[in-house]
Amino acid sequence: MNAPEQTSLSAATDMRRTLDAAAVQQLTDRIEAAQTGARAIPKLTDDFPGMTLGDGYAVQLELLRRWRAAGRRQAGWKAGLTSKAKMVQMGVTVPSIGFLLADFARAEGSTVRTDDLVHPRVECEVAFVTKADLAGPDVTRAQVLAATDFVVPAIEVIDSRFSGFKFDLPSVVADNGSSARYVTGGRALRADGLELDCLGVVLEKNGEPVAMGASTAVMGHPADAVALLVKVLHELGETLPAGSFVMSGGITEAIAVKPGDVVCARFQELGSVAVRFA
Ligand code: OOG
Ligand code: MG
């Protein structure tokens, strides 16, 4: 397998902004309406071609602020576009992060509705739960692992709110990294007993293998994606508190799902996670 395309961390964390406060509010209105109404909209850069990564995060953080003010609880964060398979599929070469609300979670083995989603896709990911705070621009893989309480296998259900699932980096960041639902399952295990950088995974849809890979595809080691996430948070003036749930990014390309599909992600060591769509 080829090494993941190397991306510059400074490129991922240049937070210069061009939008004024009114434009951030207007774009957050658009994203919030599209997410709540499960409606596809044109990507934001069609109207705001000068939009930067920093502008995208300004919209994302305003969306988070609104939803927390409405009483929704944050479970943690996700890193996305952290594997070459994902980058190639989406045509984006820089990883990004998004927030995860507790109410995005669905139970393993449950049936996930699709009528409140636009065009869902599934991804298999290694998720982390932390037991110590992580903060700053230079967190290492070892520090992430020391701060990890356990890892758990997960399926993320992503759902871009942009027409045709087509976007660029500022737009997808504003859309909270296409976050929609997530399902954990399998076995929660301590990281120190695992070779976390070489866990195989098979993604099955309706009993057929549709994608397969290994965790090394995520930046060489999924903990490095968590370190990248902490760096981006630092640039945004945030930290990763103990007790956070963190998804490290899809190992393979994402697979489209429709009502009636059953998806199972089978991870080496970590067990499997299954979910049905209706
Ligand atoms: C962006 C979200 C990417 C991942 O794991 O790479 C992501 C997208 O592809 O829509 O969640
Ligand atoms: Mg993902």
State pLDDT tens for residues 178-219: 999 999 999 999 999 999 999 999 999 999 999 999 999 999
E strands in 32-133: 74-80, 96-101, 105-106, 111-112, 121-130
pLDDT the model gives residue 12? 63
Strand partners, 194: none
Residue nearest (by alpha carbon) to ligand 1 atom 11:
80
Residue nearest (by alpha carbon) to ligand 1 atom 3:
80
The residue with tokens 């996700």 is 78
Structural domain of 223? 10-277
Rounded distance between C-alpha atoms, residue 95 and residue 196, angstroms: 20
Residue 55 lies in a domain: yes
Residue 226 lies in a domain: yes
Tokens coding 120: 């869902």
Please name the residues in contact with 60: beta carbons below 8 A apart, sequence gap of 6 or more: 98, 99, 173, 174, 175, 176, 177
253, pLDDT greater than 90: yes
Measured in Å, residue 255 CA sits from the centre of ligand 2 at 11
Pocket lined around ligand 1, Cβ cut-off 6 Å? 78, 80-82, 86, 90, 123, 125, 156, 158, 160, 172, 177-178, 249-250, 254
pLDDT averaged over every residue in the chain: 95
Tokens coding 19: 């939008």
Residue-wise pLDDT for 55-113, tens only, equals 999 999 999 999 999 999 999 999 999 999 999 999 999 999 999 999 999 999 999 99
Q: Please count the structural domains in the chain.
A: 1
pLDDT the model gives residue 8? 43
Please tell me the pTM assigned to this model. 0.96
What average pLDDT does range 14-40 have in this prediction? 97
Residue 4 lies in a domain: no
pLDDT the model gives residue 11? 46
Residue 130 lies in a domain: yes
CATH of the domain at 269: 3.90.850.10
pLDDT the model gives residue 14? 85
Residue 5 lies in a domain: no
Residue 161 lies in a domain: yes
- Cβ–Cβ under 8 Å, residues 117 and 159: yes
Tokens coding 99: 């927030």
Residue 1 lies in a domain: no
Residue 2 lies in a domain: no
